[in-house]
Amino acid sequence: MRAPFLAPERDDAYRRARGKTSGGTTYYFVPNAHFVAQPTTTIVADFDQYMPWYVDTPIVIDQLAFEVTTAGTNTRAGIYAADRDLQPTRLLLDSGSIGVGTTGVKTFTFGSPLSLPRGRYLTAMNADATGVGVRSYRAGCPSQQGLNPGATFTYGILYTVGRSYAAFPDPGTAWTAANTSSTPQMNVCVFRVTNL
């Protein structure tokens, strides 16, 4: 029995969609992000850099991807659950070191698909001493977008804290600074959804 008003995630019409061709190719996305541009940015060495996103109905992801535009040496990506302040809490995924010595799309396939219930999440990235240039996917993200309360209102696009390149800790290291911009939120990693 369906109960869409009590548990809307049970109503198929309400559930999140993803692009998938009839041949079986699944397109990458970031839940609740509406992409508007594709500039480049740098994953600065020895900083955890967090990018928030929100899952409104349960999904299963099995791969993340990002595009290297300027080669470095190594980077790593992670996924954290986030609290109401968009601070990292429980570590859900650590990719380990991903070689970024060449440009192009890099993928990391999880050992086991990751089931994500409705909630707040952060993608975390950290690069070793050389840093790395990557493609950034600018996106409006209504549920997570914030404005910096400074002298002028600017978007809070990336949350950072200094930490030497190493495995992501559990729980995560709280961010202490917000990079801001006049353009919307940055997403570096995108995800492949295997089940909605």
104: tokens are 């192009």
- The answer as to whether 7 is a domain residue is no
Domain that holds residue 171: 29-195
Would residue 137 count as lying in a domain?
Answer: yes
How confident is the model over 128-178, as pLDDT tens digits? 988 899 998 877 655 555 666 666 666 667 889 999 999 999 999 999 988
Three-class DSSP category at 23? coil
Question: What is the distance between the alpha carbons of residues 34 and 184, in angstroms, rounded to a whole number?
Answer: 10
Residue 115 is assigned to a structural domain of this protein? yes
This prediction has a pTM of 0.86
Q: pLDDT band for 95, please (50, 70, 90 cuts).
A: very high
Note the pLDDT of residue 108: 96
In this predicted structure, what is the pLDDT of residue 38? 84
- In angstroms, rounded to a whole number, what is the distance separating the alpha carbons of residues 66 and 108? 9
* Residue pair 76/96 in contact by the 8 Å Cβ criterion: yes
User: In the predicted model, what is the mean pLDDT of residues 90-117?
Assistant: 96
Average pLDDT estimate for 58-86 = 95
Is pLDDT above 60 for 1?
Answer: no
CATH number where 130 lies? 2.60.120.380
Query: Is 160 within the bounds of a domain?
Result: yes
Instruction: Give 9-59 pLDDT, tens digit per residue.
Output: 566 655 566 566 677 777 888 888 777 778 888 899 999 999 888 898 899
Q: 5 lies in a domain?
A: no
How many domains does the chain fold into?
1
Query: Rounded to an integer, what distance in angstroms lies between the CA atom of residue 55 and that of residue 135?
Result: 23
Question: Is the per-residue pLDDT at 93 higher than 80?
Answer: yes
Residue 17 falls inside a structural domain: no
Question: Domain for residue 33, yes or no?
Answer: yes
Residue 183 lies in a domain: yes
Q: What is the pLDDT of residue 187?
A: 82
